[in-house]
A and B are shown apart, each in its own frame.
Chain A
C-alpha cells in the first residue's frame, strides 16, 4: 500500500473535510468500468457505484492495508456488481464459449487488408457491438486489462479468479472478437 493511500484512508477515518470526496474522485473511474461493464444498464450502474462507495465508507475501518486501496475498492465494486447480476439472474459468463468443436487457431485466415478496412467506421462499430454483446465477465476483464491497463495479477486480486482463468478468458475473447471481425468482412476460415 502506498504512503498516499495510507494518508488518504487516515484522513477519511478522521473525517477530514473533502477527504472522502477525494477518495471517490481518485477511484470512481475504476469502479465505473467494473460496474458498468458488468451491469450494462447506465442508471443501475450509477446506483451500484454509489452503493460501492457507501460500502467503502462504511467498512473502511476494516481495511487492513494488505492490498492497495485500488484493489480493495475494486473488489468491493466487483462484489456489488456480482450481487446485482445474481439478483437479476443474469449469466456472468458464457459457459458455451469455445465449445464449438473447432480449434480456434485453425480458423484463422490471412489476406485481409485491415489498414484500409479499419479506416471504415463500420469496423469500429462492429467491434463495439461485439464487445457489448460479450458476457459481463469477459467484457469486464477486457476493459480492466486494456482500458485501465491493470495487470492480470491485479485483476485476480479483486475478482478472486485465478490468473490462469483470467488469461484464458482474455485469450479466447480476443480471439473470438478477431474471428467476428473476419467473418463480418467475408474472410473465409
Chain B
C-alpha cells in the first residue's frame, strides 16, 4: 500500500475536488453543475452524519463516580499497606526490645545516662507547650 500523498497532477486535482466538496458541505453551499463534485459532496454529507450509536447521557457522571470509587479503593489499599508496614515495624521494635532488654535495663540503671536523656527530651517537650496552649485558647 502506498502511503505517499497524491503527487501527480490528476491526483492533486482530485484531492482539491474532495476538499472543495468537504468545504461546500460544511458551508451548506448550493449544488454546482460538476457531477464529480456532487458525488464527493454526497460522500462528505454521509461522513458528516452523527454516528448511529452514542454514549449514554449520564456517561460523564458515571465515569466521575467510577473514578471516585477507584480513588477510595486505592486510598483504602494504601491505608491497609501502611498499617501492615507499621505492624511489621512494631513487631521488629518489640523484638529488639526483648533482644536488648538487659542492655536497656543497664542504661536505665545508670543515672548519668538517664539525666542525659532528660536533658535532650525536656527542652523539646517545653518547646511544644506554648504551641499546644495557643491551639487550646479559644478564638
Binding site for B on A (CB under 8 A): 18, 20-22, 24-25, 28, 32-33, 36-37, 42, 45-46, 49-50, 53-54, 57, 93-99, 105, 108, 110-115, 118, 123-124, 127-128, 131, 142-143, 145-147, 149, 162, 164-165, 167-168, 170-171, 174-175, 177-178, 181-182
Q: Which residues of A contact B70 (CB under 8 A)?
A: 54, 57
Are B26 and A149 touching (Cβ within 8 A)?
yes
In the bound assembly, the distance between CA atoms of A50 and B47 in angstroms comes to 25
Are A178 and B5 touching (Cβ within 8 A)?
no
From B1, B47, B60, give the contact of A97 (CB < 8 A): B1
Are A171 and B40 touching (Cβ within 8 A)?
no
Q: Which residues of B contact A36 (CB under 8 A)?
A: 51, 53
Contact A181 to B18, CB < 8 A, known contacts A24-B59, A53-B67, A111-B35: no
- Supply 4 further A-B pairs (C-beta < 8 A) apart from A46-B55, A131-B47, A147-B50: A20-B64, A21-B64, A123-B42, A147-B51
Nearest CB of B to A44, in Å: 11
User: Across the two chains, which residue of chain B brings its CB closest to A112?
Assistant: B35
Are A174 and B40 touching (Cβ within 8 A)?
yes
Q: Which residues of B contact A24 (CB under 8 A)?
A: 59-60, 63-64
In the bound assembly, the distance between CA atoms of A147 and B53 in angstroms comes to 14
Are B48 and A147 touching (Cβ within 8 A)?
yes
Q: Which residues of A contact B1 (CB under 8 A)?
A: 93-99
Q: Which residues of A contact B62 (CB under 8 A)?
A: 50
B43 within 8 A of A: yes
Nearest CB of B to A57, in Å: 5
User: Across the two chains, which residue of chain B brings its CB closest to A176?
Assistant: B43
Binding site for A on B (CB under 8 A): 1-6, 10-11, 14-15, 18, 22, 26, 31, 35-36, 38-51, 53-56, 59-64, 66-67, 70
From B18, B38, B66, give the contact of A114 (CB < 8 A): B38
Contact A131 to B18, CB < 8 A, known contacts A164-B3, A168-B3: no
Are B60 and A167 touching (Cβ within 8 A)?
no
User: Across the two chains, which residue of chain B brings its CB closest to A17?
Assistant: B64
Contact A147 to B3, CB < 8 A, known contacts A21-B60, A111-B35, A171-B11: no
Most buried by B among A45, A95, A146: A146
In the bound assembly, the distance between CA atoms of A96 and B51 in angstroms comes to 26
Q: Which residues of A contact B41 (CB under 8 A)?
A: 114
In the bound assembly, the distance between CA atoms of A115 and B1 in angstroms comes to 34
Q: Which residues of B contact A96 (CB under 8 A)?
A: 1
Are B4 and A168 touching (Cβ within 8 A)?
yes
Contact A131 to B67, CB < 8 A, known contacts A97-B1, A110-B36, A171-B15: no
